A and B are shown apart, each in its own frame.
Chain A
Amino acid sequence: MPHDIDAARPPRWLASAGGAAMFVAPLLALVLIWAIAVPLFGINPRVFPSVAAVGGAAMESIRDGTLIEHIGASLLRVGLGTLIGVVTAVPLGIAMGVSPAVSTFLTPLFRFFSVLAGIAWIPIATLWFGYGFGAIIFVIFNAVFFVVTYNTLLGVSTIPMPLRNAAASLGAGRWALLTEVLLPGALPNIVTGIRTGLGFAWRGLIAAEMIATNVGLGYMLFVARDFYRTEVIILGMIVIGAIWLLIDRLLLVPLERSTIERWGMVRRA
């Protein structure tokens, strides 16, 4: 019986393929304008490269493996830093959120640190860990950690008391309360926290790579500047944009949609 509602809709793959086409079309149009405008106005390649030049730079850096190397380095850093951040932040946030008194007391503290999270830590991180992998991981970790902890704390403390009571009166023990009520109840905020934190982390990463390392997308951009290689810079910008768009739209937004909106807990952009 639940199927009859869906019968009228086009099949899912077709709908999503159509959606993807609708999404890509304006971007392709933009590339077309770019391809026409550069030769039309005779723009100096040192100011803005042609489509062909960027394509050439892409081919070249794919062939010699540098692009993959930079992307790999950046993704590894973000992945590792985020993983450590989330794995430590969620349990901590939940533990602190369980008691209303503790969470009201600690909220301003974590708010302060989540406000500071990310880029502002670059100087001290490079001082503590030296220029390189450790400092960058630390910057990403703390961007994610404080934002996710703060949001988890907020999430747990906003779970309505009747829900906790309902679980208890249905026989839930401590562990069941945690896994069945607190964790799913705080999930909307946790996901939001991860989305925001990752946003800060990704920017922090690019900044840190410009300053503190010799591999990664940020580094690739910054070095290209020294040689006025605008085609490499634009290539790097496109790659950075595309990666974030993929992470955000294919991973984080669907995660929010599939759970939270169906549950009717919150609706957001």
Chain B
Amino acid sequence: MNILLRSWSAYTRATARWPGLAALVPFIPVIALWVAVTESGMFPRAFLPGPVEVVKAFFSLTYRGILPDYLQDSLVRLFTGAALGMAIGIPLGILIGTSKWAHRVSWPILLFFQAIGDIAWLPILLIWFGFGLTTMTFVIVYTVLFPVVLNTVLGVESVPRDLARAARSLGASPARVLWEVTLPGALPNIITGLRNGLGYGWRALIAVEMIVGTSGIGFMMFDARRSGSVVEILLGMIILGLLWYIVDAWILAPIERATGQRWGLVTS
């Protein structure tokens, strides 16, 4: 009991000083379990390789330059798609959010197109644009766009009307109200939308790379699947997980929290 208490105390103190630790330590038992299962010979190696093999594959693929290239391809695609999605989505959301009529008319359409989902677009996109960058970008922009638009609309509508009135009566022009009041007021929701959109977006990217790709992490995983190389599949999964974990937990979530909580606006 005492030892438990003391080690818990040590752990709490250590994680308070280095918060990254709290995200790493819990994986130690998982990796240990993984080693134990592979070492026990319960499954054939070809079915479930151990961590050592995965790390080896990581170094060899990195050394050969394949992994950095693929990673770069995937990230560039994701971020171009996200940037485009935001560039279209935020203005569109503000436009729709400021007009009751625009909202009424477009809301069902937005919900319906969001419901179709990114991946279902793939076949028709392949007919329209063939196997290539346009298809991939379209899918990602599409995926990011809807959560951003829907949440921006909600954000704009959640800004208390009196704030806009206050700004007007203090002498702000309508354009200034948009910039000084509407946009910051909607920001927490916009970021929530972006976070959701990217969450769906990178999944779409993986799917697209698997189905149409010639490069990228998704392609690497699916190519490995064809040649039966489980090591590379696992490596791909770990990289994806880590990457997204870092983006989401250390970049997006803190921004979301910072804006939403500091201003005392309730979002989520």
Report the minimal beta-carbon distance from A215 to chain B, rounded to whole angstroms.
Answer: 16
Is A184 interfacial (CB 8 A cutoff)? no
**Cβ-defined partner of B248 (8 Å) among A46, A115, A124, A127:** A115
Is A105 interfacial (CB 8 A cutoff)? yes
**Cβ-defined partner of A221 (8 Å) among B26, B118, B123:** B123
Is A15 interfacial (CB 8 A cutoff)? no
Please state if B120 and A236 are interface contacts (CB–CB under 8 Å). yes
For the complex, give the distance between the alpha carbons of A143 and B8 in Å: 32
Please state if A127 and B210 are interface contacts (CB–CB under 8 Å). no
Please state if A22 and B109 are interface contacts (CB–CB under 8 Å). no
Report the minimal beta-carbon distance from A269 to chain B, rounded to whole angstroms.
Answer: 5
The size of the chain A interface, using a CB distance under 8 A, is: 65
The size of the chain B interface, using a CB distance under 8 A, is: 62
**Most B Cβ at <10 Å: residue of A25, A46, A104, A233:** A233
For the complex, give the distance between the alpha carbons of A198 and B98 in Å: 31
Please state if B127 and A230 are interface contacts (CB–CB under 8 Å). yes
Is A87 interfacial (CB 8 A cutoff)? no
Instruction: Name the segment of A55-63, A65-73, A167-175, A204-212 touching the other chain.
Output: A204-212
For the complex, give the distance between the alpha carbons of A144 and B48 in Å: 23
For the complex, give the distance between the alpha carbons of A47 and B234 in Å: 39
Please state if B27 and A248 are interface contacts (CB–CB under 8 Å). no
Neighbouring B residues of A204 by C-beta, 8 Å: 203, 207
Instruction: Name the segment of A6-14, A75-83, A239-247 touching the other chain.
Output: A239-247
Is A166 interfacial (CB 8 A cutoff)? no
Neighbouring B residues of A107 by C-beta, 8 Å: 26
Please state if A109 and B266 are interface contacts (CB–CB under 8 Å). no
For the complex, give the distance between the alpha carbons of A128 and B255 in Å: 39
Please state if A108 and B22 are interface contacts (CB–CB under 8 Å). yes
Please state if B123 and A269 are interface contacts (CB–CB under 8 Å). no
Is A162 interfacial (CB 8 A cutoff)? no
Please state if B26 and A119 are interface contacts (CB–CB under 8 Å). no
- Given A200-B203, A207-B207, decide whether A123 and B225 contact each other with a Cβ distance below 8 A: yes
Report the minimal beta-carbon distance from A247 to chain B, rounded to whole angstroms.
Answer: 9
Report the minimal beta-carbon distance from B74 to chain A, rounded to whole angstroms.
Answer: 12
User: In chain A between 175 and 216, which residues have their CB closer than 8 angstroms to a CB of chain B?
Assistant: 199-200, 202-204, 206-207, 210-211
Closest B residue to A126 by CB, please name it: B225
**Cβ-defined partner of B27 (8 Å) among A22, A29, A112:** A112
For the complex, give the distance between the alpha carbons of A199 and B116 in Å: 11
Please state if A124 and B27 are interface contacts (CB–CB under 8 Å). no
Report the minimal beta-carbon distance from B100 to chain A, rounded to whole angstroms.
Answer: 12
Neighbouring B residues of A25 by C-beta, 8 Å: 108
- Given A106-B26, A222-B123, A236-B120, decide whether A268 and B268 contact each other with a Cβ distance below 8 A: yes
Neighbouring A residues of B234 by C-beta, 8 Å: 124
Is A263 interfacial (CB 8 A cutoff)? no
Please state if A206 and B109 are interface contacts (CB–CB under 8 Å). no
Neighbouring B residues of A119 by C-beta, 8 Å: 203-204, 206-207, 210
Please state if B203 and A120 are interface contacts (CB–CB under 8 Å). yes
Please state if B268 and A266 are interface contacts (CB–CB under 8 Å). yes
- Given A104-B22, A109-B30, decide whether A26 and B245 contact each other with a Cβ distance below 8 A: no
What would 19 A/B residue contacts be, using CB atoms closer than 8 Å?
Answer: A26-B106, A26-B108, A46-B127, A108-B26, A112-B241, A112-B245, A116-B237, A119-B204, A120-B203, A203-B200, A203-B203, A206-B117, A210-B123, A210-B211, A211-B210, A218-B119, A222-B122, A244-B117, A245-B111
Q: Which residues of B contact A (CB under 8 A)?
A: 8, 22-27, 30, 47, 104-109, 111-113, 115-124, 126-128, 150-151, 154, 199-200, 203-204, 206-207, 210-211, 221-222, 224-225, 228, 230, 233-234, 236-237, 240-242, 244-245, 248-249, 266-268
Q: A23-B107, A121-B237, A206-B119 are in contact. List 15 more A-B contacts (CB 8 A).
A: A26-B108, A27-B108, A30-B109, A47-B128, A108-B23, A109-B26, A111-B249, A119-B206, A123-B210, A210-B211, A218-B120, A240-B115, A240-B117, A241-B112, A241-B117
